[in-house]
């Protein structure tokens, strides 16, 4: 089994590394980081660089595709090479997945039309515009399409997919090895739980709100 | 403020990326990935490469030091260049921190003697041998030394430190932006919660158990 994780400039690192840390531990699976061209890609903060070991041309039929999000997603929406690769690999993939605004790329590739899906909470309206049926669930499975909410949700998605593919026992073992017993010091991790004023402030300054303005 | 995150071969990626994703969003802070020499470092699975932008020689007085763990930690225990750098930077750091078996490196550098600290649950005995007072708390603060448990705990550590440095409001905003509202599909993330048989199996095959055998 081959797992391909997409990189592009200004991706959000945890979007990619959350599912990687879980799924790369699938028995008999190989994981590869892939981009339009092989080479280094800089994350959204400008501080972190990860390397794509293979180009899209070299990875033609991965079993699992993982698409992260991040500010760089906007630019990729009109880059046909990524969208073409997503459509091509989707023809044979067992699972096509995304974290955060990676779902907008699946949507732009036409893969989520009429499907239940999720994305970063600030991007749910965008996802609807691309023909999906957005939900605010943290992980959404619709057929072979698995989408996760913002950034950190990729860990939950990875564990859920791992359990489906390799069994609950294996998934529990990986959860214990990565000691995933989350204890956030605050309870502000979703717009339903965070202070309303904070939600409004972030919404007002979001790139999606800005882009939607005339 | 400068945040330095250490890389070495066979590090565990999420150990580094969890705190990075949170702490790099500190206002007016710059984050740098640092290693003995600048250049790419391969993670423990062999599938992921991150780049150290600076060498130890180039980063001499970071305000926050973050040390990840991973299988490569064993080799670093006898590499004086990392241990010397940890001691040198600790002389002026505001916070010296670790995730997972990164705490064993702080311990080997002599920085945790008599201090309360934590590490990956499989490595707590090792931590005691290095003179620390291990606890099974997920995040432990003893003076300026902040240690986190296994792999995924670095996200919780990052948020806690962010709250202490930049205030609860800012930390809540970052939690909401990374949508950290964890919903693990299993409740097996700590040895106290996972099935006893699984805990025993992982303990029996752990590198620490193997190393301890005569």
Is B100 marked active-site?
A: yes
Single out the catalytic residue among B6, B13, B65, B100.
Answer: B100
Query: Could you tell me if B105 and B68 are in contact, meaning their C-beta atoms sit under 8 angstroms apart?
Result: no
Complex prediction ipTM? 0.96
pLDDT of residue A212 exceeding 80? no
Q: Do A107 and A191 fall into the same domain? A: no
pLDDT in tens, A34-64: 999 999 999 999 999 999 999 999 999 999 9
A124 contacts in B (CB within 8 Å)? Answer: none
A153 contacts in B (CB within 8 Å)? Answer: 179, 181
Query: Could you tell me if A132 and A105 are in contact, meaning their C-beta atoms sit under 8 angstroms apart?
Result: no
- How does DSSP classify residue B11? B
CA nearest to A43 within chain B: B21
B135 three-class SS: coil
Q: What is the pLDDT of residue A30?
A: 98
Q: Do A152 and A195 fall into the same domain? A: no
Q: What is the pLDDT of residue B168?
A: 97
Range of the domain at A87: 2-182
Q: Do A111 and A205 fall into the same domain? A: no
Q: What is the pTM of this model?
A: 0.97
How many other β-carbons are positioned within 10 Å of the β-carbon of residue A50? 26
Q: Do B115 and B198 fall into the same domain? A: no
pLDDT in tens, B163-196: 999 999 999 999 999 999 999 999 999 999 999 9
Q: Do B52 and B121 fall into the same domain? A: yes
Q: Do A193 and A138 fall into the same domain? A: no
Choose the mutation target among B1, B25, B146, B180 for the interface with A, i.e. most A CBs under 10 Å. B180
Cα–Cα dist B188/A179, whole Å:
8
For chains A and B, count residue pairs whose Cβ atoms are closer than 8 Å. 220
How many other β-carbons are positioned within 10 Å of the β-carbon of residue A205? 10
Q: How many domains does chain A have?
A: 2
Choose the mutation target among A5, A185, A205, A209 for the interface with B, i.e. most B CBs under 10 Å. A185
Residue in A1, A18, A23 with CA at minimum distance from that of residue A170: A23
Q: Do A51 and A152 fall into the same domain? A: yes
Q: Do A142 and A189 fall into the same domain? A: no
B181 and A159 within 8 Å at the Cβ level: the answer is: no
CA nearest to B198 within chain A: A173
Cα–Cα dist B115/A119, whole Å:
42
Q: Do B103 and B40 fall into the same domain? A: yes
CA nearest to A26 within chain B: B45
Q: Do B56 and B140 fall into the same domain? A: yes
Q: Which of B20, B149, B172 sits opposite A188 (nearest CB)?
A: B172
The two tokens of residue B14 are 């999420």
CATH code of A82's domain: 3.40.50.880
Q: What is the pLDDT of residue B209?
A: 82
Q: What is the pLDDT of residue A211?
A: 72
Q: Is B46 left (phi over 0), alpha (psi -120 to 50) or beta?
A: left
Q: Do B174 and B189 fall into the same domain? A: no
Q: What percent of chain B has pLDDT over 90?
A: 95
Q: Residue B137 — pLDDT band, cuts 50, 70, 90?
A: very high
Residue B186's DSSP bridge partners are none
Q: Do A100 and A43 fall into the same domain? A: yes
Strand spans (E) along chain B: 2-6, 30-35, 39-42, 49-52, 54-55, 64-67, 95-99, 116-117, 133-134, 139-142, 145-148
């Amino acid at each position: 089994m081959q797992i391909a994780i997409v990189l592009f400039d200004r991706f959000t690192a945890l979007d990619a590394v959350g599912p990687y840390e879980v799924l790369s531990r699938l028995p008999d699976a190989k994981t590869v980081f892939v981009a339009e061209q092989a080479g280094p890609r800089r994350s959204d903060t400008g501080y972190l660089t990860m390397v794509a070991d293979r180009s899209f041309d070299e990875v033609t039929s991965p079993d699992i595709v993982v698409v992260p999000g991040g500010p760089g997603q906007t630019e990729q929406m009109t880059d046909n090479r990524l969208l073409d690769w997503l459509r091509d690999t989707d023809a044979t993939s067992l699972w096509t997945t995304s974290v955060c605004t990676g779902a907008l790329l699946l949507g732009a590739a036409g893969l989520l039309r009429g499907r239940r899906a999720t994305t970063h909470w600030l991007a749910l309206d965008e996802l609807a515009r691309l023909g999906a049926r957005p939900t605010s669930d943290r992980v959404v499975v619709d057929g072979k399409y698995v989408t996760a909410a913002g950034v950190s949700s990729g860990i939950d998605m990875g564990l859920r997919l791992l359990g489906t593919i390799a069994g609950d026992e294996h998934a529990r073992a990986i959860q214990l090895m990565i000691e995933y017993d989350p204890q956030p010091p605050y309870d502000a991790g979703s717009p339903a739980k965070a202070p309303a004023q904070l939600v409004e402030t972030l919404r007002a300054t979001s790139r999606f709100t800005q882009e939607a303005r005339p």
